[in-house]
Amino acid sequence: MNFAASQRLRWLGIWETIPANAQGALWMLLGGFCFSIMSLVIKYLGQELDSFQLGFIRAVFGVIVVLPFVFKRGIGSLRTKVFKLHFFRAVVGISGMLSIFYAVTHLPLADAVALTFTRPLFLILLAVLFLGEIIRWRRWLATGVGFLGVLVMVQADGEFSHASFVALFGAFMVALVSVFLKKLSRTEDPITMMFYFGVIGASIAFIPALFVWQTPTWQQLAILGGGALFGSGANYCAIRAFSVAEATAVAPFDYMRLVFSGLFGFLVFSEIPTLWMLTGASIIVASSLYIVRREAGLKKAQKQPIEQSVEP
């Protein structure tokens, strides 16, 4: 056994001694760091390239990443009976991506990231409208408090920022994507979903990108490619975090993205968070954490009678 292999086994042994929830927290922290790097890349390139163009190139990179897996499994694996669902999911998803990219390039980095944390608030509304879920008064109250935090945060000098509303629209679109994914995941493979989203999303983003197109340099493409890799890494880390640990244990660590983004914004762009931002973001985070913990508690309570009924 060579030295590199022995070192991998050594670190694997140490990793396995770490409790599952602590592993999940570390995965979530790493994912938050990767996501913040991707946001930093978008904001940096957004000073020279339009957000529509950045969204189109990012979608193309997404297709390139998934193609090897498609070829390995065969083109036949892309057959689907729910193409309409894939299409609408792609429309909603690319709309959310373009909106968030716009917000990142036009708002302080920490502000844009904080507004994306409104997704759990929108999910409550969508769960009632599209999934028929019954929401009790405590979660409705937490949702209302969360949106109060939004009103506090988006206020700047007594006026509402246009880019802040775009960020909220992007968060709503991302929440709506979750509804489509819940339906698609019943019959569709993740690779199939990623392929159709990439192809359809890139085709849609190409139209507005044409009107603002500037031929990117090789350096800009390399930077954006690196940002796409960090974005994929962030998704992988989040999946790993929720697969090894309890959702209520790892969810709070996702909010470290606010810290990372605020730090990057200060170091790279000399951005200083305002009192409005800090207050509003704190309210949003607190309400979102309550909703996550409340939902986890309800799911646990629903499972308990079933588990008790099958005991010998």
- Tens-digit pLDDT profile for residues 30-74: 888 998 998 999 999 998 999 999 999 888 888 888 888 888 887
Band (204; pLDDT cuts 50, 70, 90): very high
pLDDT of residue 233: 80
pLDDT of residue 169: 92
Band (91; pLDDT cuts 50, 70, 90): very high
pLDDT of residue 311: 33
Checking if the pLDDT of 206 tops 90, the result is yes
What predicted TM-score, i.e. pTM, was given to this entire model?
Answer: 0.79
Cα(109)–Cα(111) distance, integer angstroms: 5
pLDDT of residue 195: 85
Band (240; pLDDT cuts 50, 70, 90): confident
Band (15; pLDDT cuts 50, 70, 90): low
pLDDT of residue 309: 32
Cα(122)–Cα(179) distance, integer angstroms: 11
The answer to whether 163 and 102 are in contact (CB under 8 A) is: yes
Checking if the pLDDT of 128 tops 80, the result is no
Mean pLDDT value across the chain: 79
